[in-house]
């Protein structure tokens, strides 16, 4: 006689799937004749338990799609340049559009914008050989794939305190200041980008509120 038991508990596996255990109890009745086997004539019962494990595919909802490559404004990134023997940190502290301080002359049309925006940035030489910093690694990236770079203008009526255009940092020294960008007033950049030379870019998210 076969008894099929479907009390199947659900267990979660490590991959987020579902494991269903089905236990089937089979009762085999073996009747032994007293005259053939010399027994009492009562049937012997043998219980056999069969366990079957079924693992469901993990839910696609459990997959993480979070992109952690773009930093939040204010975050600090450590950069190790073994070739140049420099350990440095780079930080974007704030972005302001339009710039609300004393106004420089309006950007020229060929520069790509009609107002000035600024990024407050900081770079430190933590350890190693001396290194130089300037504004040119910094740029703005837009959702449509366009970019705006610094103009190279410095001094005069440009926003202050100004991030240096050419400064040597010895070990333990930092440089901080405003980098100015000529931007269109009706368009908001998506990311602030730092990319020295051919190195990997570091990016910070720019809030839609500026």
The CA-based diameter of the chain, rounded to the nearest angstrom, is 119
Taking the C-alpha atoms of residue 7 and residue 13, their distance in angstroms, rounded to an integer, is 19
Handedness of CA 182, 187, 141, 91 (dihedral sign): positive
Q: Which residues contact 36 (CB under 8 A, 6 or more apart)?
A: none
| CA distance linking residue 25 with residue 20, whole number of Å | 16
**pTM for the full model?**
0.67
* Residue 4 tokens, joined: 């099929």
According to the model, what pLDDT value does residue 209 have? 59
What residue ranges of the chain have pLDDT lower than 50?
A: 1-40, 43-67, 210
Q: Report the C-alpha gap between 134 and 163 in whole angstroms.
A: 7
Three-state SS string across the chain, please? CEEECCCCCEEECCCCCEEEEEEEEEEEEECCCHHHHCCCCCCEEEEEEEEEEEECCCCHHHCCCCCCCEECCCCEEEEEECCCCEEEEEEEEEEECCCCCCCCCCCCHHHCCCEEEEEEEEEEEEEECCEEECCCCEEEECCCCCEEECCCCCCCCCCCCECCCCEEECCCCEEEEEEEEEECCCCCCCEEEECCCCCCCEEEECCCCC
What was the pLDDT predicted at 92? 98
């Amino acid at each position: 006689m076969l008894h099929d038991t479907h009390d199947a508990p659900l267990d979660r596996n490590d991959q987020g799937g579902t494991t269903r255990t089905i236990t089937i109890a089979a009762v085999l009745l073996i009747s032994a004749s007293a005259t053939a086997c010399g027994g009492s004539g009562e049937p012997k019962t043998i219980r056999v338990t069969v366990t079957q494990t079924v693992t469901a595919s993990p839910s696609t909802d459990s997959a993480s799609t979070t992109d952690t490559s773009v930093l939040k404004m204010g975050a600090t990134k450590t950069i190790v340049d073994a070739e140049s023997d420099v350990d440095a940190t780079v930080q974007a502290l704030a972005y302001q559009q339009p710039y609300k301080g004393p106004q420089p002359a309006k950007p020229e049309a060929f520069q790509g914008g009609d107002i000035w925006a600024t990024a407050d940035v900081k770079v430190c030489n933590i350890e190693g050989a001396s290194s130089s910093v300037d504004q040119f690694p910094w740029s703005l990236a837009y959702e449509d794939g366009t970019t705006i770079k610094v103009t190279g203008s410095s001094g005069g009526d440009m926003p202050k305190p100004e991030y240096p255009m050419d400064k040597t940092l010895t070990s333990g020294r930092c440089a901080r200041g405003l980098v100015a960008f000529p931007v269109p007033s009706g368009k908001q950049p998506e990311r602030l980008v730092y990319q020295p030379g051919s190195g990997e870019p570091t990016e910070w998210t720019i809030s839609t509120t500026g």
